[in-house]
Amino acid sequence: MNLKSFDIVIVGAGPAGGHCARILAKSGRTVLLAEQNDNFNKNDFSSAATPLETLSQFDLPESVIGSFWHKLTIETSKVTQTWESPESLGVVLNFAKFRAFLADEVERFGGEVWLGCRYTGHSQANGETAVEFKQLSDGQLIKVSTKVLVDATGFARAIMYDKENDKPNFLSGTGIEYLIEVEPEVYNKYANDLIFFLGDKWMPKGYSWIFPMEQNRLKVGAGRIFLDAKTVKHLSPLKQYIDLLIDEYLKSKNYKIIDKHGSTLKYSRGLQDIYWKDNIIAIGDTVSTVNFLGGEGIRHGMDGAEIAGKYIEKYLDGKISDFRDYETQMHRKFDGKWNISERLAVRKYIDDVNDELTDKMISYLKYMKTEDIMDILFYYKFEKISRGFGGYLWRKFQGLMQRLRKSF
Ligand SMILES: Cc1cc2nc3c(=O)[nH]c(=O)nc-3n(C[C@H](O)[C@H](O)[C@H](O)COP(=O)(O)OP(=O)(O)OC[C@H]3O[C@@H](n4cnc5c(N)ncnc54)[C@H](O)[C@@H]3O)c2cc1C
């Protein structure tokens, strides 16, 4: 039987898979983007906050924006700090509309998008790869053939690892978020503000957040990371901390829950993921492009997808015979900042920094300019912290970093 054949089959229509399919379809390759969910509202899991430049960097339209924000607030147990700008600093994307937009772009450029199709396996034959999907509506099995297969299945890493047991230990993160509709007076108070909660009072061993969305809607969520399931068994459920934010912080009496969603992140310490095997290449969270300190992964996944796109084109043109250089370039791009972020994340969320130190650190940051805070939170320029700290706290912070380096 002759299988339908593609240059590239990409499994997983998240930000990384969707963007990779979009750029390859645009450059004239035959592309299939396959996703297990049959519509994008089903796994609308991400809070999807991102700095403003994401829009121009990846050519995203206004229609995928949930809201703009021009304020950043950090709440600890005892301290509140806000930094703001007259201009917008970033957006909260409507994650469902954003991924649907990427899929529409793939079709606009001549690619195919198959929703409701779960990848179930692949086999190699005659220099090409046969990929098998199960259509979820009727259980039918579909096979296609491809020159390059892309694992963009996020934390599942469904292609890179055949069996769950083959996977190494990852750092895990779990986040739950409610999309709520609130009274206009509550919404107006928080409509332009990205608020993070770091102290034990709000979210021990993790962080929680309130992000603005479309008119009268807010995203309220809580997340934590852990090394193995045992370490979180004794902790209270995340839902309790979301209720706390709604009742005690927002003080909303008549809110309506529009949606409850959540997901998992699995991050490889030291970026030890498998980046490629034969003609298979992994992108996005499958190779830990999510930054584990802040949990931001959308634009980094898309960044990595662009790097992968270049190597896939070279491979298809016969200029390279494997994806070794892709792996090298990804390490060059991510290793430095990701390794520091990872150590800080482990220290803050797992080893649990003393709550008072968190209060102190945040209160010293108040002297910093908004652009410096953006650089630290979104561009991981931790060296800028020295400017905001007094001598004592800066020495303490350096001591902490030294201890972390030794323990790694
Ligand atoms: C609660 C939470 C809040 C977050 N908030 C933010 C934020 O504010 N800003 C930000 O930048 N990042 C945020 N992130 C991280 C960000 O959402 C992820 O890093 C990003 O979505 C990763 O993109 P991806 O394309 O690699 O993977 P994913 O978005 O996970 O996409 C993978 C896709 O593969 C599909 N798939 C999996 N297995 C199969 C299979 N066998 N067959 C077919 N399809 C399959 C899945 O259904 C999914 O659609 C958050 C994450 C969580 C969990």
Give the domain range for residue 363. 353-407
In tens, the pLDDT along 37-62 reads 999 999 999 999 999 999 999 999 99
The answer as to whether 71 is a domain residue is yes
Average pLDDT over residues 27-39: 98
* Beta pairing class for 280-282 and 141-151: parallel
Confidence check: pLDDT of 284 > 70? yes
State the distance from the centre of ligand 1 to the C-alpha of 288, rounded, in angstroms. Answer: 11
The answer as to whether 59 is a domain residue is no
Return the number of other C-beta atoms located less than 10 Å from residue 252's C-beta. Answer: 19
Strand spans (E) along 161-216: 171-181, 193-197, 206-212
144 and 253 in a single domain? The answer is no
251 and 301 in a single domain? The answer is no
Confidence check: pLDDT of 375 > 70? yes
C-alpha–C-alpha distance, residues 66 and 101, integer Å: 14
State the distance from the centre of ligand 1 to the C-alpha of 51, rounded, in angstroms. Answer: 18
194 and 334 in a single domain? The answer is no
Q: Are 215 and 183 in contact (CB under 8 A)?
A: no
The burial of 66, by beta-carbon neighbours within 10 Å (0-12 exposed, 13-18 middle, 19 or more buried), is given as buried
Task: Indicate the residue among 247, 267, 287 that finishes a domain.
Answer: 267
Average pLDDT over residues 161-182: 91
Q: Are 67 and 91 in contact (CB under 8 A)?
A: yes
Residue 309 tokens, joined: 């796109």
367 and 234 in a single domain? The answer is no
Domain count for the chain = 3
Average pLDDT over residues 20-38: 98
pLDDT given for residue 407 in this prediction = 47
Which residue owns the Cα nearest ligand 1 atom 27?
154
In tens, the pLDDT along 332-352 reads 999 999 999 998 888 777 776
C-alpha–C-alpha distance, residues 163 and 153, integer Å: 14
30 and 102 in a single domain? The answer is yes
State the distance from the centre of ligand 1 to the C-alpha of 396, rounded, in angstroms. Answer: 36
Say how many residues make up the chain.
408
State the distance from the centre of ligand 1 to the C-alpha of 297, rounded, in angstroms. Answer: 8
Which of the two residues, 357 and 223, has the higher pLDDT score?
223
C-alpha–C-alpha distance, residues 173 and 229, integer Å: 10
Return the number of other C-beta atoms located less than 10 Å from residue 160's C-beta. Answer: 20
The answer as to whether 53 is a domain residue is no
Q: Of 222-226, 249-253, 392-396, which has the strongest mean pLDDT?
A: 249-253
pLDDT given for residue 199 in this prediction = 87
In tens, the pLDDT along 380-408 reads 998 877 655 555 556 666 665 565 555 44
Cα–chain-centroid distance for residue 210?
17
Determine the residue of 131, 298, 338 to mutate for testing ligand 1's pocket, defined as the one with the most ligand atoms within 8 A of the Cβ atom: 298
Measured from the CA of 92, which atom of ligand 1 is nearest?
8
C-alpha–C-alpha distance, residues 384 and 395, integer Å: 14
The answer as to whether 37 is a domain residue is yes
Cβ–ligand 1 distance for 212 under 6 Å, the answer no
Percent of the chain with pLDDT over 70: 92
Average pLDDT over residues 9-22: 98
Return the number of other C-beta atoms located less than 10 Å from residue 189's C-beta. Answer: 13
200 and 308 in a single domain? The answer is no
In tens, the pLDDT along 107-163 reads 999 999 999 999 999 998 777 899 999 999 999 999 999 999 999 999 999 999 988
Edge to edge, what strands does the sheet with 71-75 contain?
80-84, 71-75, 193-197, 206-212, 217-226, 171-181, 256-267
Which of the two residues, 366 and 223, has the higher pLDDT score?
223
C-alpha–C-alpha distance, residues 141 and 133, integer Å: 6
State the distance from the centre of ligand 1 to the C-alpha of 46, rounded, in angstroms. Answer: 7
The answer as to whether 254 is a domain residue is yes
C-alpha–C-alpha distance, residues 187 and 261, integer Å: 20
Element at 81 (helix H, strand E) = strand 80-84
The answer as to whether 368 is a domain residue is yes
Q: Are 286 and 267 in contact (CB under 8 A)?
A: no
Average pLDDT over residues 240-260: 96
Return mean pLDDT, the chain.
Answer: 91
